Structure 1
Amino acid sequence: MAIIDLLMLLGVAALWGASFLFMRQAVSVLGPIPMIEARVLVAGLGLLLVAVIMRRVPNFRRDLWGFLVLGALMAAVPFTLIAAAELKITASLAAILNATTPLFALLVTSVRQGTRPSRTQLSGVVLGVAGVTVLVGLGPLHLDGMLILAALASLCASLFYALGGVYAKVRFSGTHPLVTTTGQQLGAAVCLLLPTLALPPRHPVTGGIVLAVLALALACTALGFALFFHLVNRVGPTGALTVTFFVPLFGLLYGTAFLGEPLSWSTPLGMSLVLGAVFLVTERRSATRGDAAPGRSATSTGWTPDRRSSHRSGPGRRRRRRPAGAPGRRR
């Protein structure tokens, strides 16, 4: 991986890790649903502006229901679950629990395709369960019913991410990532509109909260996703998904440095177990599936460049007709 790609990878991880910090700051004032509505709406409008400039505007008339479903699965529901969980758990713990997404992706894919995970992958799932147990049961927070519910909410968010990934691959295969991401965020905003009107914020909104939401929407969401998809096109999906290993590290760093969150021996131990589980689950896939070549679009992102018919070659191409009366070619 080139230096510029590594820096871009760390940049995505830093932005996505910061999202847990900003959610932790704003959720107690705005509430989970209004905060996420503001996040996806501002991010969607920012992405739509970029899509207009790049002439990649989503076809809402044709794909409206698809964007609504994708927005619910990959933004509205998981974002809200994580925000609600952060009313009880720390930002660093939420970031680490979110790293279990590849474990749920393995289970969802196995059920959908009717395949059995390998022994290595199953070992990864068991190791992931052990890591979550250490984080929740032996962590610095007092173990009670609310903590368990908050941890389950974070894990359910990872499950929804996995379901959304499968749906996106089936429903939006062949769609440019910018189009899909823009439609996803705006679809999530539509899904959360009525719940937000029914549950408005109960506390006065300060300038600091507004800045936290703007950073969450424009930097962590819009810019983070844009950089991630650009990274996928440069180094392929497997290389880009190694961001999963760095997001919890940044989440832990931010939570400890800026929020003064408690840190005990169980936190790095549990995080190591979870990241080891993710490595075991994704390692076999990395060895059997090649990445796209650098500088070319990865087909697994669902987007391939348009191919013009003028570039056809091979036995199936059309031959030019010689006009009637034209002299034949000399042998």
Structure 2
Amino acid sequence: MSAPSLVRSSSPALPTAAWLNPVELGVLGAMWGSSFMLMRVSAKDFGPLPLVAVRLTLGALVLVPLLWRARAALTRRLWPMIALVGALNAAVPFALFAWAAQRAPAGVGAISNSMSVLFTALVAYFFFGERIGARRAVSLLIGFAGVVVLASGKVAGASLGWAVAAGVSAAFMYGVAANLARRHLGGVPAGATAASTLSVAAVMVWPFALATWPQAPIPGVSWLAASVLGVFGTGIGYVMFYRLIQRLGAARAAVVTYLVPLFAVAWAWLLLSEPLTPTMAVAGLLILGSIALGRRSPA
């Protein structure tokens, strides 16, 4: 999940019923939060790459109407950048999160994923000359402190370090993709950008997925989890997010970032009996607090 990385911040806010936006934000947070639980359920049977291939294919199919409607904007010269963004915003990070889901509770992946907001600012500063400002610099330090705390934790005696490293690497790729899409795909409607990058990412992943497809039959519950992950967590989730952008603008719609880790931990606790450890709680507070502080900065 990182649809915010493909958002253009100039999206206009449109009027709507006062109750609808909070409800849709909550539903989207619950939907994206469940993605980490669904990966936890299905990754052990599919393996990372087959799971990602199924997820990307189903998500892309949901978004095909958006791709078809904006096909004229997708000129030939854009496809190399679409492929790069697809790799950095979907193919590789989805695989890293699926790999981490085999080794750590769902909340670990969700908390690591929230770092993408801060990485977007960091990449913009180092590679594109955007100003960060003192408050956002402090927020970045707090966020990285949260990552260190999270990586130091253990669940059932097993270290979380490698799973956290995978999740944070995926979040960094989201940050790079955010800046590339903003600068090179800004003229393409956001929904079409999502559809095209997911489609290209699926094509990239399938050869590796087929090469690593599990020999044992995949249980029905894992197929169900993968299908829900692709259709709802990837396809419909993107559509909902872009609708919110149209009504609220990108900055206000990105509030969903705060909700995803909370829902991820809640779903995993409720349905998988996964604990919320003190280390996860402290790390989550540090990272989400750093995001809140950074978003208040005028820089």
1:254 maps to which of 255, 259, 267: 267
* Deviation for aligned residue 1:281: 1.7
- The one-letter amino acid of 1:267's match is M
- The one-letter amino acid of 2:104's match is I
- The one-letter amino acid of 1:114's match is G
Equivalent in the alignment of 1:223: 236
Question: Residues 168-247 of structure 1: matches in 2 within 5 Å?
Answer: 168-247=181-260
Residues 190, 60 of structure 1: alpha-carbon distance in 2 compared, 3 angstrom cutoff: farther
1:19 maps to which of 22, 35, 48: 35
TM-score by length of 1: 0.80
Q: Is 2:171 the partner of 1:158?
A: yes
* Deviation for aligned residue 1:7: 0.8
Answer 1 or 2: higher relative contact order, Cα 8 Å, separation at least 6: 2
* Deviation for aligned residue 1:117: 2.4
Equivalent in the alignment of 1:119: 134
- The percentage of aligned residue pairs carrying the same residue is 30
* Deviation for aligned residue 1:139: 4.8
* Deviation for aligned residue 1:109: 0.4
Residues 117, 48 of structure 1: alpha-carbon distance in 2 compared, 3 angstrom cutoff: same
Provide the aligned length of Structure 1 versus Structure 2. 282
Equivalent in the alignment of 1:312: none
Name stretches of at least 5 consecutive residues in structure 2 with no aligned partner: 1-15
Residues 91, 160 of structure 1: alpha-carbon distance in 2 compared, 3 angstrom cutoff: same
Equivalent in the alignment of 1:314: none
SS at match of 2:254: helix
Give 1 or 2 for the bigger CA radius of gyration: 1
Q: Is 2:64 the partner of 1:66?
A: no
CA distance in 1, matches of 2:229, 2:291: 26
CA distance in 1, matches of 2:123, 2:203: 26
CA distance in 1, matches of 2:156, 2:252: 34
- The one-letter amino acid of 2:64's match is L
Q: 1:29 touches 1:202 (CA, 8 Å); kept in 2?
A: no
Equivalent in the alignment of 1:297: none
Question: Residues 1-331 of structure 1: matches in 2 within 5 Å?
Answer: 2-49=18-65, 51-52=67-68, 55-57=69-71, 62=76, 63-142=78-157, 144=159, 147-285=160-298
Equivalent in the alignment of 1:329: none
- The one-letter amino acid of 2:44's match is S
Q: 1:231 touches 1:240 (CA, 8 Å); kept in 2?
A: yes
TM-score by length of 2: 0.89
- The one-letter amino acid of 2:105's match is T
Q: 2:62 touches 2:236 (CA, 8 Å); kept in 1?
A: no
SS at match of 1:284: coil
Equivalent in the alignment of 1:306: none
* Deviation for aligned residue 1:141: 4.8
Residues 141, 279 of structure 1: alpha-carbon distance in 2 compared, 3 angstrom cutoff: farther
Q: 2:153 touches 2:161 (CA, 8 Å); kept in 1?
A: no
Q: 1:58 touches 1:183 (CA, 8 Å); kept in 2?
A: no
* Deviation for aligned residue 1:131: 1.6
CA distance in 2, matches of 1:263, 1:211: 25
Residues 209, 60 of structure 1: alpha-carbon distance in 2 compared, 3 angstrom cutoff: farther
